[in-house]
């Protein structure tokens, strides 16, 4: 299976609790996340997450996805089938380096032939999206 991944890692001077609180409070995403808004749903295995994805340079789209993995204070992953031969995964990860200092990552993984083609065509917009989300997540967690 073909896989394409884009990720942004950023250092955050905050506790895992503070960083997790920012992403686990889905209705609060409108206040900090420049790409995913109108976010709602349930963070639980198989839980449904809904949101509006607005990647600059690409058409806005409504997303309904399923939580594939999650671990409090460490990870949130959701997956979406986008059609024949195209699946996407969106993730947020927190790695504690020491108390009050973490590395946070967010990214997209596209799989399938059409997923790889989508990634190749829109790489620069996706890079801008994960970078802007990382910077906004950092600002919100450190506030």
Span 24-53, average pLDDT: 97
Rounded (10°) angle between helices 16-24 and 113-142 = 120
Quick: pLDDT tens for 7-23: 999 999 999 999 999 99
- Average pLDDT in the 45-62 region? 97
Mean pLDDT of the chain: 96
Residue whose structure tokens are 């749903």 = 41
pLDDT band at 44 (very low <50, low <70, confident <90, very high): very high
Cβ count near 19 (within 10 Å):
24
Structure tokens given for 80: 């979406």
Residue 123's pLDDT band (cuts 50, 70, 90): very high
* Distance (Å, whole) CA 135 – CA 34: 10
* Spatial separation of the C-alpha atoms in residues 37 and 69, rounded to whole Å: 21
Rounded mean pLDDT, 42-68: 97
> pLDDT grade, residue 1 (50/70/90)?
low
Strands (E), 1-143: 3-12, 36-41, 48-53, 61-71, 75-81, 87-98, 101-111
């Amino acid at each position: 299976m073909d896989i394409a991944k884009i990720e942004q890692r950023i250092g955050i001077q905050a506790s895992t609790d503070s960083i997790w609180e920012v992403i686990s409070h889905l209705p609060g995403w409108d206040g900090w996340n420049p790409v995913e808004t109108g976010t709602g749903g349930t963070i639980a295995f198989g839980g449904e997450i809904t949101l509006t994805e607005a990647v600059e340079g690409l058409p806005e789209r409504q997303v309904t996805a399923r939580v594939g993995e999650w671990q409090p204070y460490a990870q949130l992953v959701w997956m979406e089938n986008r059609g024949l031969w195209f699946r996407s995964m969106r993730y947020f990860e927190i790695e504690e380096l020491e108390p009050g200092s973490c590395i946070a990552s967010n990214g997209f993984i596209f799989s399938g032939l059409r997923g790889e083609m989508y990634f190749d065509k829109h790489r620069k917009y996706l890079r801008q999206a994960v970078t802007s989300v990382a910077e906004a997540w950092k600002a919100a967690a450190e506030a």
